[in-house]
Structures are given as structure tokens and as C-alpha cells.
Amino acid sequence: MKQPKNSKKSFIFGRASHLAAVLVVSVLVVGGTITRVALADQYDDQMNALREQNAQAQTSVDALQSQANSYQDAISKLQGQIDAVQAQISANQAEQAALQVEITTMQTRIDSERALLGADIKAMYVDGDISTVEMLATSKNLSEFVDKEEYRNAVQKNIQASLTKIAKLQNQLKQKKTQVDGLIESQKTQQAQLAADRQQQADMLAYTQAQKDSYNSQIASNSSKIAELRRQQIIANTRYNIGPAGTGVNCGGGYPAKWCNIGQDSVIDSWGMYNRECVSYTAFKVHQDFLAGQNSHDMPYWGGVGNANQWDENAMRAGIPVDSSPTPGSIAISNAGTWGHAMYVEQVGTINGQQAVYVSQYNASYDGRYSEGWRYTTGLVFIHF
């Protein structure tokens, strides 16, 4: 079963750093001689600051999204109310139209009644406007007079009933139309208010969306900056650390060709480490020093439990000294990152009054290559095999 990798790509400086790829020229003192070296400034602090900005921006985006959802919900509810009122208005407008048809029909009937009244009046006065005495005198007998009088009274009653009916119908239609007209106007006013409320919510939604877009734009911009910082960090580290190539493009430090001239992580070395990783190289260096009589301890087999950030604990359990004092031939360990980083100490010196070590290493630039250079000892522990 393939064991997990013992050392992955980790930041070689082991702590957070600044934004730009700055090279700081410093003075190195080794054994009384002065050498000028360039140290690549660190990037992690700035990247972490950008990540924190993104985290805060994302929190704001999430809060704004919650507000946007609330505004959208309010808009949907208002739109539902607007649609309901519109349905009522449409129904009342249909009733209004039907009522107008009824009014027109009634007006036709009124005109017809008036025509009938005119005929009745004409029939009533067909004999002219004569007095009762004259009507009695012109009648052939009393029975004919009575018939004429009854007819006259019937015509009068019919006229009065028709006029009363017409007046009642006109009043009813007028009242009903007034009610419907008023209801439609009220509903239109209600609809206008709902539309204004909906527009207000829409404006707030648009403003919220604009804020959210601004934060998302900031997040995207910061993410691009982080990616650029990573790129610059690798370039700066490479500019500072890449040293002699050794035997082959990927080799250096005497690391065996059987491990350095093949693909990274393609085989496991003699100590259970994947090839061209920092721990594989340092394990090789420890073993070489032991064979040369320079170490008291040989390199143990730490396959499966040999990530760089596990080395100091493994060493202490094996009785191998671990401290913060570097010596040539010791192994420098950075516990930063997920897997940490292991380096072989070639020299010990001072840079601008601070302790520093010249190290050789593999995979500092995340590409399985050999490199070497000076770095401060801050944040490092040293294993003395």
C-alpha cells in the first residue's frame, strides 16, 4: 500500500510575510569574513491579511445576501398583492362594463316607455280636452260616460306607475355605478401604493446587490493578489535559494541520481521518504555523515511518520538531541505549514546581528528541485544526529 508522502510543499520561511517580492541586501559574517547576500523578504503576512479581508468581505456578502433574500421575498409578496388587486379591478371593470350595458338597455326601455306614454296620452285626449259636464253631455248614455272615465283613470295610473318605475331604475343604476366607480378608484389607489412599496423594495434590493457585487469584486481582486504573491514568493525564493545544479537539472548536494533524475514522488527512498522531497534529501545527508563518522546516529526508517514537522518529535523519542542551536551538519526543521520543511545546515553565521544558517535543501520551490542559501534561524529547531 502506498504510504502518505513524508514531506509536501510548504513555505520555506515557515511564517507569514509581506506583499512585494523585496530583496533585502544584508551583511553576513562567517569566520571573520564579510559576505553580502540577498534575502528574499517574506510574503505570508500580506497573504494572510488579504485572506482576512476576504473572510470579512465574505461575511458581509453573506449578510447582504440575507438582506437581499428578505427584500426579494417582500417584493414577491407585494407583487402577489398587486396581482390580487389587479384581479379585483379587472372583475369590477367587467362589472362596470356589464352595468353600462344594463344602463344602455334600461335607457332603451325608458325611451320605449316614453313612447307608450305618449300614445296613451294621445289616446286619453283623442276627444280633446273637454270638461266632465261636456263629456257627460256628449255621451250616448251613462254607461258610456262611466267607461270613458274609467279609461281615463286607468291611463293616469299607468302613466304614474311607468314614471315611478323609470325613476327607481335610474336611481338604482346610478347608485350601483357610483359604488363600482368608487371601488375601482380605491383599488387603483391601493395598487399604486403597493407598486410604490414594491419599487422601494426593488431599489433596496438593487443597492444591496451593488454592495454585494462590490465585496465580491474585492474578494476576487484579493484572490488575484494572493495568487500573484504566491507566484512572486516562488520567484523570490528561487532567486535567493537556487544553487549548483549538481548531476542533472534536478540534482544537487550529492543526492543520488537514482532518486533525483526521475519524477518527484515516484519512488520511496531507503528511509521511507518519497524522492526529491526535503526529508528524503536530509535523510540522505544524515546517513552520509554517519558513514563518514560525523554523526553519532544513523538515519532511522521513518516511513509513514516522517513529515518534516514530525522529525523533531521522532528524534526526541529516539534520544537524538533537539535544540535551537544550529551546527554544521545539523538538520534545520520548520514546523510551519501542513507538512513543515527540513533543511541540511551547511554553515552557521550572523546577518545584521541575527543568527543565520546556510542550508541546502530540496523542494523549497515546490518543484522537487535542489537549492541552497542563507536564512535566519527564527522559528527553526535543529536536530543533532
* pLDDT given for residue 158 in this prediction: 73
Q: How far is CA 316 from CA 161, 286, 306, 379, in A?
A: 122, 16, 13, 18
* pLDDT given for residue 334 in this prediction: 94
CA distance 248 to 281: 15
CA distance 244 to 185: 90
Domains of the chain: 23-42+244-383 (3.90.1720.10), 57-229 (1.10.287.950)
pLDDT one-digit tens code per residue, 123-151: 655 544 555 555 556 655 656 555 666 76
pLDDT one-digit tens code per residue, 285-314: 999 999 999 999 999 999 889 999 999 999
CA distance 184 to 96: 9
238 pLDDT higher than 80: no
What confidence tier does 203 reach under pLDDT thresholds 50, 70, 90? very high
Give a three-class secondary structure readout of 102-158. HHHHHHHHHHHHHHHHHHHHHHHCCCCCCCHHHHHHHCCCHHHHHHHHHHHHHHHHH
Q: State whether residue 250 is helix, strand or coil.
A: coil
Enumerate long-range contacts of 247-251, CB under 8 Å, 24 or more apart.
249/369, 250/276, 250/368, 250/369, 250/370, 251/370
Residue 62 or residue 352, greater confidence:
62
Candidates 2, 9, 12; CA nearest to 277 is: 9
Tell me the three cell numbers of residue 51: 485572506
67 pLDDT higher than 90: no
**Residue type present at position 381:** V
Residue 60 · residue 213 · CB < 8 Å: no
What confidence tier does 37 reach under pLDDT thresholds 50, 70, 90? very low
Q: Which residues pair with 331 in a beta bridge?
A: 344, 383
Cβ neighbour number for residue 31 with a 10 Å cutoff: 7
Residue 34 · residue 28 · CB < 8 Å: yes
Cβ neighbour number for residue 171 with a 10 Å cutoff: 10
- In total, the chain counts a number of residues equal to 385
34 CA to centre of own chain: 55
Phi, psi of 20 (to 5 degrees): -90, 160
Residue 207 or residue 148, greater confidence:
207
* pLDDT given for residue 144 in this prediction: 58
Q: Which of 3-12, 40-49, 226-235, 334-343 is the least confident region?
A: 3-12
Q: Which residue has the cell 505549514?
A: 337
CA distance 139 to 145: 6
* pLDDT given for residue 288 in this prediction: 96
279 pLDDT higher than 90: yes
Residue 211 · residue 64 · CB < 8 Å: yes
Residue 44 or residue 25, greater confidence:
44
Pair type for strands 380-383 and 354-362: unpaired
* pLDDT given for residue 228 in this prediction: 85
Candidates 285, 255, 311, 331; CA nearest to 6 is: 311
* pLDDT given for residue 304 in this prediction: 86
pLDDT one-digit tens code per residue, 156-188: 677 677 767 777 877 887 788 788 888 888 888
Residue 340 · residue 364 · CB < 8 Å: no
Tell me the three cell numbers of residue 231: 507566484
Tell me the three cell numbers of residue 208: 444591496
pLDDT one-digit tens code per residue, 210-219: 998 999 999 9
**Residue type present at position 292:** A
* Mean predicted confidence (pLDDT) in 90-111: 80
What confidence tier does 106 reach under pLDDT thresholds 50, 70, 90? confident
pLDDT one-digit tens code per residue, 334-366: 998 889 999 999 999 988 788 999 999 999 888
Handedness of CA 141, 144, 149, 150 (dihedral sign): positive
- Is the pTM higher than 0.75? The answer reads no
For the chain, give the mean pLDDT: 78
**E runs forming strands in the chain:** 23-30, 33-40, 322-323, 331-334, 341-351, 354-362, 370-376, 380-383
pLDDT one-digit tens code per residue, 6-36: 443 333 333 222 223 333 334 444 444 434 3
